[in-house]
Amino acid sequence: MRASVHRFTQRDPGDVTQLAEAIDRGEIDPATIVAFIGKTEGNGLVNDFTRGYLVLSLKLLLSERLGRSPDEIGRSVVFVFSGGTEGVLTPHYTVFCVDRSTPLRAAGPRRLAIGRALTRAPLAEEIGTRAQVALVADAVRRAMAEAGIADGADVHFVQVKGGCVTTEAARAAHARGAVLASADPNRSMAFSRVAGAFGVMLALGDIAEDQVDEANFFSRLDLWSDRASVSSGIEVAENEVVVFGNSPGWQSDFVIGHHVMDDALDLGGAYACLDGLGIDCRGNNRAEALGRIVCALVKCEPDASGLIRGQRHTMWQDGDINAQRHIRAAVGGLLAGVLGDTRLFVSGGAEHQGPPGGGLLALIARVA
């Protein structure tokens, strides 16, 4: 098994020409593509249709190149897009391929391993509840199995994408007497993320079954995953899960590392993540070793207390710019400055993903 990682940028959310050209040049075998993770240039909120537009555009491209219907593509490839390239961030998507022509080797240096799984589509009334947690946890376990990873400790990053409740879906649910965690579309996106995070924690053994309690959602701030990254949006119904780890059975040039970020200013956490990959670049974002990084995955959130290191921030009280857009811009600005690269997957909405007010950073790099 051999994973490969390819990063492409876009002119607009319907632009898939760089991938098309890479396929045409023979650099990517489209049949080996297992997942896409990317940032599109919408607002990252309920009415962000750039994610769906890119999904459709990629399905069409693969449909054409593989001679399969777009629907079939949708069932065999995972698409995880997060909207919002605030500040210096660059719209881009990373293509993850798995070459299965070589079987899992018995032993060797730990290398990037990838597994995926889908859940069924949760009902509107399941979003943000224990039912969704169970669906996600099951999918994480299946994705780990696909990756050939038995021990949760070998997992370095789990990306989950889930749906949310639109105004229309809420109306339909109310019409059939269903009770929703939230009928507010934006709020339901947060609920969907929380259920995803609990699902990851449950599957990885970070929490016990009895801690999966809706009363803990948003409130037990000490329950958080250091490896779960969850996005939600109206363009998906199912929960889509991609598990990333390092495994001795896989062969490639790539490894993954991760580190928590204690708060939105956690420069030290970012350098610690780089240290783990053997990249020394403190204060110098033009360091050559930074060129080894091929993918950066970030979760962050506006501190719920309204304070960062004791000083007030205004993100939660801004009626013009959503708080998640603020924090993506700021943390994206910090990490782009650390890494010297703006092609970062920076996703907001980090409830129970990393410590409160902080988040996560995972980096995939070529080995030195």
Q: Which positions are catalytic?
A: 161, 231
Choosing from 334, 360, 361, 364, the residue that interacts with a copy of itself (CB under 8 A) is 334
C-alpha dihedral sign at 111, 199, 165, 352: negative
Q: Of the candidates 30, 42, 148, 355, which one interacts with a copy of itself according to CB under 8 A?
A: 42
CA 211, chain centre distance (Å): 23
Residues 291-320 that bind a copy of itself (CB under 8 A): 305-309, 311-320
Tell which positions 7-26 bind a copy of itself, by CB under 8 A: 9-14
Site map (CB under 8 A) of a copy of itself, residues 211-240, x = contact? -----------------------x------
CA–CA separation, 211 and 159 (whole Å): 21
Which residue, chain included where needed, has tokens 């980096």?
363
Give the phi and the psi of residue 326 in degrees, each rounded to 5: -60, -50
DSSP characters for 239-270?
Answer: -EEEEEEEETT--SSEEEEEEEESSTT-HHHH
Task: Based on the shown chain and the rule CB under 8 A, indicate whether residue 38 belongs to the binding site for a copy of itself.
Answer: no
Helices 17-24 and 50-66, axial angle in degrees (round to 10): 20
The span of 22-30, 72-80, 105-113, 333-341 binding a copy of itself (CB under 8 A) equals: 333-341
Question: Residue 177, interface with a copy of itself (CB under 8 A)?
Answer: no
Q: Is 149 in the site for a copy of itself (CB under 8 A)?
A: no
Q: 185 to 214, contacts with a copy of itself by CB under 8 A?
A: 185-186
Nearest to 201 by CA among 16, 346, 40, 360: 360
Sole binder of a copy of itself in the list 46, 144, 147, 241 (CB under 8 A): 46
**Comparison of 211 and 314: residue with beta carbon closer to a copy of itself:** 314
- How far apart CA 204 and CA 217 sit, in angstroms, is 18
In the complex with a copy of itself, the residue whose CB is nearer, 47 or 102, is 47
Q: Choose between 170 and 194: whose C-beta lies nearer to a copy of itself.
A: 170
Note whether 180 binds a copy of itself by CB under 8 A.
Answer: no
Q: 176-191 burial, b if ≥16 CB within 10 A, otherwise e?
A: eeeebbbbbbbbbbbb
